[in-house]
A and B are shown apart, each in its own frame.
Chain A
């Protein structure tokens, strides 16, 4: 962001604290309005910073927890090609988590702190990962629907007002689109396979469709953070707009797959030029968010366990680094 330079900051400070804040706020607002990027060293409102930390941490946590439902099938993947694709995907997700934690760290927080909050249940991850992967077809349904919904959400984030987040999203979206096509192709192979495989694919779509729609968050009239995020250009479209866009993309894709979506109310609305669709079970959504979904305990439990059981490894790495780090005068620290 060019609008608030160090010089302007100094000038503004001379005008007294209140005047300074007003001038900084005005410069920030002007930068956001002009679609400029806010960068880590720029002044930003505390609430903007806090809101970004919340959203980016949640996003990073989702990548990490999101490894579990898919990793659940690595050892059972039915062909070596599919196994390689799935391993590569889970590896990418860990990488996305790392990008996003780094991006969040530019706001003055630390990865360890964010992970502690995740483990303590004080920060969330996407509700979708609290659903179980019961068959191999679920891996395809996650690729097609869950990654599809994530991309619909994330592509507009590539133009988010906060630079590090927007740049992370550009990289993440490229890889996610690839995963999404692989998931679609997996389902297509099943759908065109034996009757048992076709049934497996349909069953997976039936179980993942509604939870995927919930990934866009509560309806616009119940979304606590939406209005402010849109003013700040962290968000570019409302939850309901993105959900509608996703439904419109999925309907023809489901047809091409030869699978049906489990919603008798889906039909083309000529007048709106969009699909109508049925009501989402928001009670279920709220229950999952509260921790009462099918896998909440299991997912967080596994994450905590991996962290706790890995503590001795991290301690060893730190102790080794302390013994062997070469300090500027050339002597190893004892």
Chain B
């Protein structure tokens, strides 16, 4: 079931990246918030991967080329602005996607109905921080602009139809663009104008073509599990 893997891997990988923030956040409230979002996403990943097989085998024993997540979620945390931009792009997408799935009667309706409540909170968190950083100080404005620009080219992939995910992809895309544009403009930021996909990034993550930092990320994630074949934890 490629569809569950695609959605599950998105959540798993982004959760992992957010987990890297623990102990490094700019304020204590963000320690709580980022861990909270990471935990929600991990919960979604576990439900989705379990539809396919054993969650741990899937998370810990697949190699880089077998992961089906979009490249956006594997992007390194960067500074807080990069993390927020990544979260904004992804949460707005995930909210639209899960709303459609929850309204349908497909295999993901139940999971999506639970997850969409969490994702609405993630989107709100990312939106509030985009406003604060964009419309905060000169420095934060500059950093936030850099972040939204840098990650823009990974957003096209979000709307590459995934086989088995029964949603209106065009509607999803249009709503995403409208929501993100509104938030960025309210945050006094310029909506990036560069390409939203290149020959390389278009649909690549879904086919197991990832960016360089991803291999290192899963090496860290899988190392202990792989060192003890067959052990239970």
A→B interface (CB under 8 Å)? 64, 67-68, 71, 74-84, 87-88, 90-91, 94-95, 97-98, 101, 136, 186, 189-190, 193-194, 196-197, 302, 305-307, 309-321, 323-324
Contact = CB atoms under 8 A, between A and B. Distances in A.
Given A312-B137, A316-B137, A95 B32 contact: yes
Contacts, number: 144
A314 B27 contact: yes
A80 B28 contact: no
B36 interface: yes
Interface string B49-60: 100000110011
A91 B143 CA distance: 27
A91 B32 contact: yes
B45 to A, nearest CB: 7
B43 A84 contact: yes
Given A78-B233, A83-B19, A306-B23, A67 B31 contact: yes
B221 A87 contact: no
B195 interface: no
B80 A310 contact: yes
A47 B225 CA distance: 52
22 contacts: A68-B23, A71-B22, A77-B224, A80-B56, A81-B46, A88-B39, A90-B22, A90-B31, A94-B31, A98-B28, A189-B233, A193-B233, A306-B23, A306-B25, A312-B137, A313-B27, A314-B26, A314-B27, A316-B136, A317-B27, A319-B137, A320-B135
B193 interface: no
Contact of B131 (A79, A83, A320): A320
Most buried by A among B23, B26, B136: B23
B223 interface: yes
Contacts of A76: 220-221, 223-224
A80 B55 contact: yes
B225 A320 contact: no
Contact of B225 (A68, A78, A94, A186): A78
Given A80-B55, A84-B39, A98-B29, A74 B22 contact: yes
Interface string B203-226: 000000000000000001101110
Interface in B129-158: 131-133, 135-137, 139-140, 143
Contacts of B30: 310, 313
A324 B128 CA distance: 12
Nearest to B36: A91
A140 to B, nearest CB: 10
Given A196-B228, A313-B26, 11 more contacts: A76-B224, A78-B225, A79-B233, A87-B19, A90-B35, A190-B233, A310-B25, A310-B80, A314-B27, A316-B133, A320-B136
A317 B16 contact: no
Contact of B35 (A91, A98, A136, A315): A91
B55 A87 contact: no
B228 A315 contact: no
Contacts of B131: 320
B32 A87 contact: no
B199 interface: no
A315 to B, nearest CB: 5
A189 B233 CA distance: 6
Given A76-B221, A76-B223, A315-B137, A87 B232 contact: no
Interface string B3-43: 00000000010001001101111111111100110110011
A94 B32 contact: yes
B231 A319 contact: no
B15 to A, nearest CB: 8
Contact of B140 (A78, A87, A315): A315
A309 B230 CA distance: 41
B166 to A, nearest CB: 26
A302 B55 CA distance: 33
Nearest to A135: B224
B37 to A, nearest CB: 10
Given A78-B233, A193-B231, A136 B22 contact: no
